[in-house]
Amino acid sequence: MTTLAELLAQRDELEAKIQATSQSERADAIAKVRALMQENGLTLSDLGAGTAGKTRAKSAVKSPAKKVPIKYRDSAGNSWSGRGLQPRWLKAALAAGKKIGEFAV
């Protein structure tokens, strides 16, 4: 029966082999790509390098947030749209016994 220590040693050996193989295959792939680029006279700009991020950025741009009308306002000029957490000024007023309807716009 195999012991835990032996299994851990085997795992470490496998991880080292995986790492070495991965680096070797990556180096081979890079060498092949460089050779093909040189053979065909290609540059990074020919491959579209550097534009991928720009394309993604354009597609990821969100439309500007629409301004939400104010639903609650106090006499000091503090306001709240009713979205998200209640602001401190409103929480304090509600804790002091006021009703939220008193601040409705």
Report whether pLDDT(49) > 60: yes
Mean pLDDT of 76-80: 92
User: How many domains does one find in the chain?
Assistant: 2
Residues 22, 46: one domain?
Answer: yes
The SS3 assignment for 104 reads strand
Q: Is pTM beyond 0.75 here?
A: no
Q: Which residue type is seen at 9?
A: A
Place of tokens 């990556």: 26
Report whether pLDDT(56) > 70: no
Report whether pLDDT(52) > 80: no
Residue 47 lies in a domain: yes
Residues present in the chain in total: 105
Residues 8, 30: one domain?
Answer: yes
Range of the structural domain that residue 13 is part of: 4-60
Alpha-carbon span 19 to 28, nearest angstrom: 14
Residue 65 lies in a domain: no
The SS3 assignment for 79 reads strand
Longest dimension (CA), the chain: 80
> Please, what is the end-to-end C-alpha distance for the chain in angstroms?
77
Residues 18, 51: one domain?
Answer: yes
